[in-house]
A and B are shown apart, each in its own frame.
Chain A
Amino acid sequence: MDIATIPLREWAEATVLWCTSHGGPLFALVTGSIDRLDAFLRAALRVPPPALVVLAAALWALWRRGIPAAVAVALGLLLIWNLALWKEAIDTVSLVLIAAGLSLAIGIPVGILMAESATARSLITPILDYMQTTPAFVYLIPSVLFFGIGTVPGVLATMMFALPPPIRATMLGIANVPPPLIEAGNAFGATPLQLIVRVKLPLALPYVSVGVNQCIMMSLSMVVIASLVGARGLGTKVVESLTQADLAKGIEAGLAVVATAITLDLLSRPRSSAGRGSYT
């Protein structure tokens, strides 16, 4: 069968060209804001001496999760320090915080919207499904095409990966609020907004907390991929080790990533007890 090739590549090319030429100011705005935010965060995180950060993190872990966690966090961070990868780790953490922060700022409201509106749910759920099915690598393409090489495409590609968990978790959390409590709220004359803010969100908190934790972890897992398109950090070291075929460097960078992951995970996980959330 001799069918002509559909000129999809050309159309894609043309669309991207159109977007970049017309969207210039918008892209520049996004790039500028994220870059400024990144620079600010990195500078801020570099201020305290590593020893102080290790102490603070260990204490937080102790308070939230007990001694084993505090030890793990302390050892991990000390290792990063010892391997002379502290600067890179900060760059990575900054990236993760920005990506996760933006994902949460968008994700939680979207999750609320989806919990409240069946229309929103039916429209957005397939999009979420597709987002979670697509291999993360694929997100690099549009990011690079629109934002070039640097921190921003890394952040944006990471966000594509990290958005679905908080959206799903928020939706699930609100759906799991016991109906009698919602009925009680209604019976006392609460407006829909009051119901969300005063009853539903607080009671959905356990789920949302898990969503936050997962968002952060997913953001971190993208760190190496992000560095393929110019994001600075531990990922850069890993990629370097690959191109230089230097196993030792790769192992050390990899361990630093693991230590960062463990630290971020333990610091951002919700408290294990359900709190006072038990409904009678």
Chain B
Amino acid sequence: MSPPPAIELKDVWKVFGRRAAEALSAVRSEQIGKDEVLRRYDCVVAVADVSVAIAQGEIFCIMGLSGSGKSTLLRHVNRLVEPTAGEIRIHGEDIGRKSAGALRELRARKIGMVFQHVALFPHRRIWENVAFGLEVRGVPRPRRREVAQETLELVHLSGWGDRYPAELSGGMQQRVGLARALAADPDVLLMDEPFSALDPLIRRQLQDQFLQLASMMKKTTLFITHDLDEAIRLGHRIAVMKDGRFIQTGTAEEIVLTPADSYVAEFVRGVSRLKIVRAHSLMRPLDATEAITLDATARAVDGDADLERMIRIVAESPGPLLVVDADNRPIGVVSETALLRAIHE
């Protein structure tokens, strides 16, 4: 039997307001909209019927504008917010059942969180901030210091352990935030728009660092962002969220090439497709002539090659591209017209 998904959300709803339960049953039975809910029950539907399973080691990006409910949804995973309805499971365990003590254990050991505005404790040194999760668990001081030091090295901030947060730049502070989340070696990382408050140059650097660490550490990550480019860069899968619902879930390619509705389509318009669209989406089966004339060794790409690479090859030497599988057997062909069309549509 395959291992349970690292994070599983089943039919999760969150309604804010005193009459939340009433409002929820009304929404479920009558399908009323959020304006109606506000008017009738003075309640706000933040998360509406979200279900998703995230595999171990996957980086799952939730993307949406402000007010879409993404931050609220994220906080369900460590129960900083209680769902109005639905189940949340981590490694198969229903966290809604956990006692306060077990929940704290979970938060200290299994889940690390990185916040949009960093939230470092200004009255503590950097290493003490990083070691906070360990301190809460009662890990003795020398060991805490050791682990903090190691984790700081991971984010390339070795010499800064004894300083205070105010002495660091925004980007460095967020690296400390990342280190704090990683220090306890959790299985799950929750990241709430961690790089949004930084300026674009630093943001890119931190995204690179994060990718590096993620590939090395293989932690399941739930990543919130409103930046489509960031989601595409970082996420294995992306969910587009609007008004509390997942409008579409899929790989970057799926979302860009086959948007589920006009909202998503509008969202992804203007995104550069060069790194997203892959050969396997564009290829068509070889016809008889091509099977003979095209040489498998020259100008062949594998199914995963992105648009950018294919264009570069074709620019050097025009002609259709052969697509081969892992054993170098031809599986399809991509014409130049197909390439041109892919850039544009």
Contact = CB atoms under 8 A, between A and B. Distances in A.
Interface string A104-128: 0000000000000000000000000
B122 A279 contact: yes
Contacts of B135: 198
A277 interface: yes
Given A188-B113, A276-B166, A280-B170, A183 B104 contact: no
A277 B107 contact: no
Contacts of B180: 188
Contact of A183 (B103, B115, B184): B115
A151 to B, nearest CB: 38
B47 interface: no
Secondary structure at the A interface, as helix, strand, loop or mixed, is helix
A48 interface: no
Contacts of B184: 188
B173 A280 contact: yes
A278 B166 contact: yes
A186 B107 contact: yes
Interface string A144-186: 0000000000000000000000000000000000101101111
B123 A276 contact: yes
Given A276-B164, A278-B166, A183 B119 contact: yes
Contact of B136 (A181, A194, A279): A194
B136 A183 contact: no
Contact of B117 (A186, A189, A191, A280): A280
A79 interface: no
A199 B121 contact: yes
Contacts of B166: 276, 278, 280
B106 interface: yes
Given A183-B80, A276-B166, A188 B121 contact: no
Contact of B165 (A180, A187, A203, A280): A280
Interface string A183-217: 11111111100100011001101000000000000
Contacts of A276: 122-123, 164-166
A178 B118 CA distance: 12
Interface string B161-184: 000111000100100000010001
Interface residues of A, number: 24
Contacts of A187: 78, 80, 107, 111, 113, 115, 190
B99 to A, nearest CB: 13
B119 A180 contact: yes
Nearest to A180: B119
Q: What is the interface residue range for chain B against chain A?
A: 20 to 34
Interface string B96-119: 000000011111110111010111
Interface in B219-275: none
Interface string A241-280: 0000000000000000000000000000000000111111
Contacts of A280: 117-118, 120, 122, 165-166, 170, 173
Contacts, number: 79
B122 A191 contact: no
B137 A189 contact: yes
A244 B137 CA distance: 67
Nearest to A189: B108
Interface in B57-107: 78, 80, 103-107
Contacts of B106: 189
Interface in A127-146: none
A199 B113 CA distance: 17
B136 A188 contact: yes
A180 B121 CA distance: 10
Given A183-B80, A276-B164, A280-B170, A188 B132 contact: yes
B330 interface: no
B78 A202 contact: no
A278 B173 CA distance: 13
B133 interface: yes
A198 B137 CA distance: 13
Contact of B104 (A180, A190, A199): A190
A187 B301 CA distance: 46
Contacts of A178: 119
Contacts of B190: 187
Contacts of B132: 185, 188, 190, 198
A184 B165 contact: no
B107 A188 contact: yes
Contacts of A202: 121, 123-124
B108 A188 contact: yes
B105 to A, nearest CB: 7
Contact of B115 (A180, A191, A199, A203): A180
B133 A181 contact: no
A189 B120 CA distance: 15
B116 to A, nearest CB: 8
Interface of B: 78, 80, 103-109, 111-113, 115, 117-124, 132-133, 135-137, 164-166, 170, 173, 180, 184, 190
Given A187-B78, A280-B165, A280-B170, 20 more contacts: A183-B80, A183-B119, A184-B119, A187-B113, A187-B190, A188-B136, A189-B106, A189-B109, A189-B133, A189-B137, A191-B104, A198-B132, A199-B121, A202-B123, A202-B124, A203-B122, A203-B123, A276-B123, A276-B164, A279-B122
